[in-house]
Structure 1
């Protein structure tokens, strides 16, 4: 188990081998677990001494019980000799079976449970977002459409449609790309043979990339690092970086009337953005 920039527990990609390190990790994450999970799911027991009570401290952790559903529990007891980890089964409020686990195995099961909860939350938030759009309480994705017959106007408006919905650096990147596209479009000679490349980026690649990201539940998109250790927001930033470089090359090619560069860059962008698949899509069963 690891901790992201916000301090929230995340699924571990490579847990430390040292059992003492793992124990210290658990203690650091206990408070976050209480914040992240409802009381019905996690219970943390502490044993504050007199000094703790006088200082208003919660006291040392003596046990952590996580209810993973269907009567299955992950129990961690903290004693003077270290941690004792078990999986347990509860029926009618009574624990009827226990199985001892190594701390690393206990953490792995906890990671799997947290990841499953993240996915369930993402599904619920996606459904709620669709309801809000239906009710008119959220901006629909078609607000991100750039029309070929109103390309300059729509590109000028596009940054405003994502402002407040993505971090400021992403808005700035969108604003730069839109400005470069508008200037490139203005400099295209009438009837330019390769004008369709500029239109394709403006009306398809850029708005589609933004639309796919904004249709994701935002907490999930910014925190879940299930894309090879990257979040959906990380991938969006990477894609916008590629688009910005590509648009800059298109602009230079138009200025220099370099047809070969236009074709080469157009082929590169088409290969990267010209298909319906995206690493940012939620799994099929979330639709």
Structure 2
């Protein structure tokens, strides 16, 4: 993908980021459905009301593995923390805490890179762009 395509994807990923709970849920559901099994790990916090009603709870964290890059997003009481890690065979070579906007751009770049060679990643990109 060219850089304008990455920017378009980043804009699509940013679309619902004003409401962090909605954003995390949409991102988790879309990526988990589109990327290969095991590429997305979703952490949820379930209240007693969620458990009694059979609801899955609110998304409190995402961990997305795309190639040698791992992107983690954590939400806590309206605050969001992004982390970008470079991992090779399970060994973390670098780790950076970043703002949401930088995290979204890194996710867009990683999805674009993965889409060049993986049909499921290409499907994820297309779902965000439509």
Q: Which residue of 1 aligns with 2:40?
A: 42
Q: Which residue of 1 aligns with 2:81?
A: 84
Instruction: Give, in whole Å, the separation in 2 of the partners of 1:61 and 1:14.
Output: 20
Q: Are positions 1:120 and 2:105 aligned together?
A: no
**Contact 1:66/1:75 (CA < 8 Å) preserved in 2?**
yes
User: Which of the two has higher C-alpha Rg?
Assistant: 1
Query: Where does the alignment leave 5 or more consecutive residues of structure 1 unmatched?
Result: 1-9, 125-218, 232-287
Larger strand share, 1 or 2: 2
Superimposed CA distance per residue, residues 98-137 of structure 1 (whole angstroms, 9 cap, x where no aligned partner) = 2111101101111112222322235x9xxxxxxxxxxxxx
Q: Are positions 1:109 and 2:106 aligned together?
A: yes
The Cα shift of 1:66 comes to: 0.8
Secondary structure in structure 2 of the residue aligned to 1:120 = coil
The Cα shift of 1:65 comes to: 0.6
Secondary structure in structure 1 of the residue aligned to 2:55 = coil
* 1:103-252 superposed matches below 5 A: 103-121=100-118, 223=126
Query: How has the CA–CA distance of structure 1 residues 50 and 12 changed in structure 2, closer, same or farther, with 3 Å as cutoff?
Result: same
TM-score by length of structure 2 reads 0.70
Q: Select which of 53, 56, 64 maps to 1:55.
A: 53
Q: Which residue of 1 aligns with 2:10?
A: 12
Query: Where does the alignment leave 5 or more consecutive residues of structure 2 unmatched?
Result: 1-7
Q: Which residue of 1 aligns with 2:72?
A: 75
Aligned residue pair count: 119
**Which protein has greater RCO, CA pairs closer than 8 Å, 6+ apart?**
2
**Contact 2:32/2:39 (CA < 8 Å) preserved in 1?**
no
**Contact 2:84/2:98 (CA < 8 Å) preserved in 1?**
yes
Instruction: Give, in whole Å, the separation in 2 of the partners of 1:46 and 1:66.
Output: 15
The Cα shift of 1:224 comes to: 8.0
Superimposed CA distance per residue, residues 30-62 of structure 1 (whole angstroms, 9 cap, x where no aligned partner) = 211110112321111112122112211111111
Instruction: Give, in whole Å, the separation in 2 of the partners of 1:113 and 1:20.
Output: 18
The Cα shift of 1:94 comes to: 5.2
Secondary structure in structure 2 of the residue aligned to 1:89 = strand
